[in-house]
Amino acid sequence: MSSEAITTAMFLIAAVISAGVLINAVFPVIYSLSGTISSSSHAVDERLSTDIRIVATYASGSNNTAKIWIKNVGTGRVASTEIDKADVFLGAEGDFTRLTYSTSLPEGTWKYEILEDTNGQWDPGETLYIEGMTSKIPGVGDVVYFQFVLPTGVYRSTTFTAGG
């Protein structure tokens, strides 16, 4: 009978030690996983609330400029600092370039203005006016390619015909 009690006590001690090891191994993983899930859901929420539409385009190969109007049709606002970091691609279809943001408009750059702006942010319903300059814009009647990419990964692109 005493050998059964010793055996039972050893199994009980082994079970308690195993439970402690398992808890010490599992809790840190659960904690880090919850942080990852939380940050991922925030990023997905931010991306889903941001939606944009290109509403009008114009480009002239003779003066190397393009004008594009983009509407914020999402539920989230976009900060000016995020627009500053956006990527703009412009040029002939199959021969375009990435433009650099600038407050002026020398060759190879783009600038923007938030129309109807009241707070320095691109709010839902407001229009972003982009002007770009590059020698890659083709001549009258040729196809122009434009793409706008926010730092969150939201992007819109279009092709349109160049004017005079």
pLDDT tens column, 98-121: 999 999 999 999 999 999 988 999
SS (H, E, C) 109-130: EEEEEEECCCCCEECCCCEEEE
pLDDT tens column, 135-164: 999 999 999 999 999 998 899 999 999 987
Whether residue 42 has pLDDT greater than 90:
no
Listed residue (147, 124, 12) closest to 73, CA to CA: 124
pLDDT tens column, 84-99: 999 999 999 999 999 9
Lookup: tokens for 6: 């010793």
Instruction: Decide: helix, strand or coil at residue 95.
Output: strand
Listed residue (140, 150, 129) closest to 55, CA to CA: 129
Listed residue (160, 162, 157, 145) closest to 70, CA to CA: 157
Whether residue 83 has pLDDT greater than 60:
yes
38 or 24, higher pLDDT: 24
SS3 content of the chain, % helix, strand, coil (to 5): 30, 40, 30
